[in-house]
Amino acid sequence: MKRILQTLAVGVFAFTSLLPDGTALANEEVTKKEQKQMTTVAHRGASGYAPENTMAAFEKSVDMKAEMLELDVQMSKDGELVVIHDTSVDRTTNGTGAVKDMTYEELLQLDAGSYFNEAFAGEKIPTLGEVLDEYRGKIGILIEIKSPSLYPGIEQKIADELVDRNMHKPNNNKIIVQSFDHDSVMTFHSLLPSIPVGVLVGYSPNGISNVQLAAFSSYADYVNPNLSMIDSDLVQRIHNQGMETYPWTVRDELSADFLLNVGVDGIITDYPDYVDPHLPDQAA
Protein backbone atom coordinates (compact mmCIF):
# COMPACT_ATOMS: atom_id res chain seq x y z
CA MET A 1 0.00 0.00 0.00
CA LYS A 2 1.72 3.08 -1.20
CA ARG A 3 -1.03 5.50 -0.54
CA ILE A 4 -1.14 8.56 -2.74
CA LEU A 5 -1.40 11.23 -0.12
CA GLN A 6 -1.98 14.30 -2.05
CA THR A 7 -2.68 15.29 -5.58
CA LEU A 8 -1.72 18.90 -5.66
CA ALA A 9 -2.89 20.94 -8.57
CA VAL A 10 0.05 23.31 -8.71
CA GLY A 11 -0.98 24.99 -11.91
CA VAL A 12 -4.36 24.85 -13.56
CA PHE A 13 -4.92 27.49 -16.15
CA ALA A 14 -6.36 28.06 -19.55
CA PHE A 15 -4.60 29.98 -22.26
CA THR A 16 -5.11 30.92 -25.84
CA SER A 17 -2.31 30.58 -28.37
CA LEU A 18 -2.46 33.10 -31.19
CA LEU A 19 -1.39 32.47 -34.80
CA PRO A 20 0.61 35.23 -36.56
CA ASP A 21 -2.59 36.62 -38.04
CA GLY A 22 -4.03 36.88 -34.61
CA THR A 23 -6.55 34.05 -34.82
CA ALA A 24 -6.87 31.76 -31.91
CA LEU A 25 -5.20 28.38 -32.28
CA ALA A 26 -6.84 26.63 -29.39
CA ASN A 27 -7.90 26.94 -25.85
CA GLU A 28 -5.96 24.48 -23.80
CA GLU A 29 -6.17 23.60 -20.23
CA VAL A 30 -2.86 22.72 -18.73
CA THR A 31 -2.94 20.80 -15.55
CA LYS A 32 0.24 20.01 -13.72
CA LYS A 33 -0.07 17.64 -10.85
CA GLU A 34 2.42 16.76 -8.26
CA GLN A 35 1.87 13.52 -6.41
CA LYS A 36 3.40 12.65 -3.14
CA GLN A 37 3.65 9.29 -1.43
CA MET A 38 3.13 8.87 2.26
CA THR A 39 4.57 6.20 4.54
CA THR A 40 2.37 4.46 7.08
CA VAL A 41 4.38 3.22 10.06
CA ALA A 42 2.81 0.64 12.38
CA HIS A 43 3.74 1.86 15.87
CA ARG A 44 5.28 -0.93 17.99
CA GLY A 45 3.74 -3.05 15.23
CA ALA A 46 0.03 -2.70 14.63
CA SER A 47 -0.33 -2.28 18.39
CA GLY A 48 -3.97 -1.29 18.27
CA TYR A 49 -4.73 -4.85 17.25
CA ALA A 50 -2.04 -7.01 18.86
CA PRO A 51 0.34 -6.74 21.83
CA GLU A 52 2.97 -4.08 21.15
CA ASN A 53 6.50 -5.04 20.09
CA THR A 54 5.63 -8.71 19.57
CA MET A 55 5.84 -10.83 16.45
CA ALA A 56 2.03 -10.88 16.42
CA ALA A 57 1.95 -7.09 16.14
CA PHE A 58 4.66 -7.08 13.49
CA GLU A 59 2.85 -9.74 11.49
CA LYS A 60 -0.28 -7.63 11.67
CA SER A 61 1.69 -4.69 10.25
CA VAL A 62 2.51 -6.76 7.19
CA ASP A 63 -1.05 -8.05 6.90
CA MET A 64 -2.29 -4.48 7.00
CA LYS A 65 0.17 -3.43 4.31
CA ALA A 66 1.89 -0.72 6.32
CA GLU A 67 5.13 0.43 4.67
CA MET A 68 7.11 0.19 7.92
CA LEU A 69 6.90 -1.22 11.42
CA GLU A 70 8.31 0.67 14.39
CA LEU A 71 9.97 -1.06 17.34
CA ASP A 72 11.84 -0.14 20.53
CA VAL A 73 15.23 -1.65 21.29
CA GLN A 74 16.84 -2.12 24.71
CA MET A 75 19.50 -4.48 26.06
CA SER A 76 19.35 -7.40 28.47
CA LYS A 77 21.79 -7.84 31.37
CA ASP A 78 23.86 -10.19 29.22
CA GLY A 79 23.95 -7.93 26.18
CA GLU A 80 21.13 -9.21 23.97
CA LEU A 81 19.21 -6.58 22.01
CA VAL A 82 15.55 -7.02 22.91
CA VAL A 83 12.41 -5.40 21.58
CA ILE A 84 10.36 -3.82 24.36
CA HIS A 85 9.13 -0.28 25.05
CA ASP A 86 9.31 0.25 28.81
CA THR A 87 12.55 0.00 30.76
CA SER A 88 10.76 -2.47 33.04
CA VAL A 89 8.82 -5.57 32.00
CA ASP A 90 5.95 -4.85 34.41
CA ARG A 91 3.36 -3.30 32.08
CA THR A 92 3.59 -5.59 29.06
CA THR A 93 4.51 -8.98 30.54
CA ASN A 94 3.63 -11.26 33.43
CA GLY A 95 6.97 -10.50 35.08
CA THR A 96 8.48 -7.68 37.10
CA GLY A 97 11.83 -5.95 37.03
CA ALA A 98 14.10 -3.82 34.90
CA VAL A 99 15.06 -5.06 31.44
CA LYS A 100 18.70 -4.19 32.11
CA ASP A 101 18.74 -6.41 35.21
CA MET A 102 17.40 -9.54 33.50
CA THR A 103 19.25 -12.02 31.32
CA TYR A 104 17.89 -12.87 27.91
CA GLU A 105 16.92 -16.33 29.19
CA GLU A 106 14.90 -14.70 31.96
CA LEU A 107 13.20 -12.31 29.53
CA LEU A 108 12.41 -15.21 27.21
CA GLN A 109 10.36 -16.92 29.93
CA LEU A 110 7.91 -14.02 30.08
CA ASP A 111 4.48 -13.87 28.47
CA ALA A 112 4.31 -10.63 26.47
CA GLY A 113 0.84 -11.22 25.03
CA SER A 114 -1.66 -11.99 27.79
CA TYR A 115 -1.72 -8.44 29.17
CA PHE A 116 -3.28 -7.39 25.86
CA ASN A 117 -5.63 -10.31 25.36
CA GLU A 118 -5.56 -13.98 26.35
CA ALA A 119 -5.74 -14.83 22.65
CA PHE A 120 -2.09 -13.70 22.49
CA ALA A 121 -0.87 -15.75 25.44
CA GLY A 122 2.63 -17.06 24.86
CA GLU A 123 3.92 -14.17 22.75
CA LYS A 124 7.57 -13.56 23.61
CA ILE A 125 9.80 -10.52 23.84
CA PRO A 126 11.59 -10.72 20.46
CA THR A 127 15.23 -9.97 19.84
CA LEU A 128 16.13 -7.32 17.28
CA GLY A 129 17.86 -10.03 15.25
CA GLU A 130 14.72 -12.15 15.11
CA VAL A 131 12.69 -9.22 13.80
CA LEU A 132 15.33 -8.29 11.21
CA ASP A 133 15.56 -11.90 10.01
CA GLU A 134 11.81 -12.33 9.79
CA TYR A 135 10.84 -9.01 8.22
CA ARG A 136 13.73 -7.90 6.03
CA GLY A 137 12.42 -7.45 2.52
CA LYS A 138 8.81 -7.68 3.69
CA ILE A 139 8.36 -4.31 5.38
CA GLY A 140 10.52 -1.35 6.34
CA ILE A 141 11.80 -1.21 9.92
CA LEU A 142 11.97 1.96 12.04
CA ILE A 143 14.26 1.17 14.98
CA GLU A 144 13.99 3.34 18.08
CA ILE A 145 16.95 3.23 20.46
CA LYS A 146 15.12 3.42 23.78
CA SER A 147 16.83 4.93 26.84
CA PRO A 148 20.36 4.46 25.47
CA SER A 149 21.95 6.06 28.53
CA LEU A 150 21.09 2.80 30.35
CA TYR A 151 22.88 0.73 27.73
CA PRO A 152 26.40 1.94 26.90
CA GLY A 153 27.46 0.64 23.50
CA ILE A 154 23.95 -0.13 22.27
CA GLU A 155 24.50 1.92 19.09
CA GLN A 156 27.46 -0.26 18.04
CA LYS A 157 25.49 -3.44 18.76
CA ILE A 158 22.58 -2.26 16.59
CA ALA A 159 25.01 -1.32 13.83
CA ASP A 160 26.59 -4.78 14.08
CA GLU A 161 23.20 -6.50 13.74
CA LEU A 162 22.56 -4.58 10.53
CA VAL A 163 26.04 -5.05 9.07
CA ASP A 164 26.02 -8.78 9.90
CA ARG A 165 22.93 -9.09 7.70
CA ASN A 166 24.25 -6.78 5.02
CA MET A 167 21.30 -4.50 5.73
CA HIS A 168 23.37 -1.34 5.91
CA LYS A 169 23.64 -1.06 2.14
CA PRO A 170 21.04 0.57 -0.07
CA ASN A 171 18.64 -2.16 -1.15
CA ASN A 172 15.00 -2.96 -0.74
CA ASN A 173 15.20 -2.98 3.08
CA LYS A 174 14.09 0.45 4.26
CA ILE A 175 15.71 0.93 7.65
CA ILE A 176 15.64 4.10 9.77
CA VAL A 177 17.14 4.49 13.26
CA GLN A 178 15.72 7.12 15.62
CA SER A 179 15.83 8.17 19.26
CA PHE A 180 14.75 10.87 21.69
CA ASP A 181 18.40 10.86 22.76
CA HIS A 182 19.98 12.97 20.03
CA ASP A 183 23.53 12.20 21.16
CA SER A 184 22.72 8.53 20.58
CA VAL A 185 21.40 9.34 17.10
CA MET A 186 24.64 11.19 16.31
CA THR A 187 26.70 8.29 17.64
CA PHE A 188 24.79 5.79 15.51
CA HIS A 189 25.10 8.06 12.47
CA SER A 190 28.88 8.25 12.89
CA LEU A 191 29.08 4.44 13.15
CA LEU A 192 26.86 3.66 10.16
CA PRO A 193 26.28 6.75 8.01
CA SER A 194 24.57 4.74 5.26
CA ILE A 195 21.51 4.21 7.47
CA PRO A 196 19.10 7.20 7.63
CA VAL A 197 18.51 8.53 11.12
CA GLY A 198 15.76 10.52 12.79
CA VAL A 199 15.43 12.68 15.87
CA LEU A 200 12.36 12.18 18.02
CA VAL A 201 11.03 15.35 19.61
CA GLY A 202 8.67 15.27 22.58
CA TYR A 203 6.00 17.92 23.05
CA SER A 204 7.25 21.37 23.99
CA PRO A 205 5.10 24.50 24.03
CA ASN A 206 8.08 26.32 22.51
CA GLY A 207 7.88 24.30 19.32
CA ILE A 208 10.96 23.59 17.22
CA SER A 209 13.04 26.54 16.06
CA ASN A 210 14.82 26.93 12.75
CA VAL A 211 18.09 26.95 14.67
CA GLN A 212 17.25 23.53 16.11
CA LEU A 213 16.22 22.25 12.69
CA ALA A 214 19.47 23.44 11.15
CA ALA A 215 21.39 21.56 13.86
CA PHE A 216 19.36 18.39 13.27
CA SER A 217 19.92 18.63 9.53
CA SER A 218 23.68 18.32 10.00
CA TYR A 219 23.20 14.59 10.70
CA ALA A 220 19.51 13.63 10.60
CA ASP A 221 17.21 12.77 7.74
CA TYR A 222 13.99 12.84 9.77
CA VAL A 223 12.49 15.05 12.48
CA ASN A 224 9.70 13.08 14.13
CA PRO A 225 7.74 15.16 16.67
CA ASN A 226 4.76 14.51 18.85
CA LEU A 227 1.82 15.08 16.52
CA SER A 228 0.45 17.88 18.72
CA MET A 229 3.43 20.03 17.63
CA ILE A 230 2.69 19.66 13.93
CA ASP A 231 1.25 22.32 11.68
CA SER A 232 1.86 23.11 8.03
CA ASP A 233 4.48 25.73 8.92
CA LEU A 234 6.60 23.21 10.84
CA VAL A 235 6.27 20.65 8.05
CA GLN A 236 7.41 23.27 5.55
CA ARG A 237 10.35 24.34 7.71
CA ILE A 238 11.46 20.71 8.12
CA HIS A 239 11.26 20.26 4.35
CA ASN A 240 13.16 23.50 3.81
CA GLN A 241 16.04 22.00 5.76
CA GLY A 242 16.03 18.94 3.50
CA MET A 243 14.50 16.56 6.03
CA GLU A 244 11.24 14.61 6.26
CA THR A 245 8.82 14.15 9.12
CA TYR A 246 6.95 11.15 10.53
CA PRO A 247 4.91 12.42 13.52
CA TRP A 248 3.54 10.13 16.25
CA THR A 249 1.29 8.66 17.54
CA VAL A 250 -2.00 8.57 15.64
CA ARG A 251 -4.77 6.79 17.51
CA ASP A 252 -7.82 8.42 15.89
CA GLU A 253 -8.93 9.15 12.36
CA LEU A 254 -9.22 12.92 12.84
CA SER A 255 -5.53 13.14 13.68
CA ALA A 256 -4.67 11.01 10.67
CA ASP A 257 -6.69 13.29 8.38
CA PHE A 258 -5.09 16.39 9.89
CA LEU A 259 -1.57 15.08 9.32
CA LEU A 260 -2.41 14.02 5.78
CA ASN A 261 -3.68 17.51 5.05
CA VAL A 262 -0.59 19.32 6.33
CA GLY A 263 1.69 17.24 4.13
CA VAL A 264 3.70 15.06 6.48
CA ASP A 265 5.87 12.37 4.89
CA GLY A 266 4.83 9.54 7.16
CA ILE A 267 2.46 8.78 10.01
CA ILE A 268 3.32 6.59 12.97
CA THR A 269 0.13 4.94 14.17
CA ASP A 270 -1.24 2.11 16.27
CA TYR A 271 -3.97 1.74 13.63
CA PRO A 272 -2.63 1.63 10.05
CA ASP A 273 -6.17 1.47 8.69
CA TYR A 274 -6.89 4.93 10.13
CA VAL A 275 -4.32 6.33 7.74
CA ASP A 276 -5.62 4.41 4.75
CA PRO A 277 -9.39 3.97 5.12
CA HIS A 278 -9.44 1.86 1.96
CA LEU A 279 -7.84 -0.99 3.87
CA PRO A 280 -10.21 -3.69 5.09
CA ASP A 281 -11.24 -3.45 8.72
CA GLN A 282 -8.54 -5.31 10.63
CA ALA A 283 -10.19 -5.37 14.04
CA ALA A 284 -10.29 -8.91 15.39
Question: Which residues are part of the catalytic machinery?
Answer: 43, 85
Q: What residue spans of the chain are helical by DSSP H?
A: 55-63, 104-108, 128-135, 154-164, 182-191, 210-217, 232-240, 253-262, 272-275
Residue 122's contacts (CB-CB under 8 Å, 6 or more residues apart) are 111, 113
Which residue number, 72 or 273, has a Cβ lying nearer to Ca ion?
Answer: 72
Which residue number, 76 or 269, has a Cβ lying nearer to ligand G3P?
Answer: 269
249 preceded by a cis bond (ω within 30 of 0): yes
Q: How far apart are CA 66 and CA 46, in angstroms?
A: 9
165 torsion bin: left (phi>0), alpha (psi -120 to 50), beta (else): alpha
Kindly identify the residues of this chain, within the stretch 107-126, that bind ligand G3P according to CB under 6 A.
none
Q: Is 273 in the site for Ca ion (CB under 5 A)?
A: no
Kindly identify the residues of this chain, within the stretch 216-235, that bind ligand G3P according to CB under 6 A.
224
Q: Is 70 in the site for ligand G3P (CB under 6 A)?
A: yes
Q: Is 144 in the site for Ca ion (CB under 5 A)?
A: yes
Residue 127 is given by DSSP the state B
In the list 59, 144, 155, 221, the residue contacting ligand G3P (rule: CB under 6 A) is 144
Residue type for 201, please? V
Which residue number, 43 or 124, has a Cβ lying nearer to Ca ion?
Answer: 43
Name the one range near Ca ion by CB under 5 A: 64-72, 176-184, 226-234, 271-279. 64-72
Residue numbers at the binding site for Ca ion (CB under 5 A): 72, 144
Residue numbers at the binding site for ligand G3P (CB under 6 A): 43, 70, 72, 85, 144, 200, 224, 248-249, 268
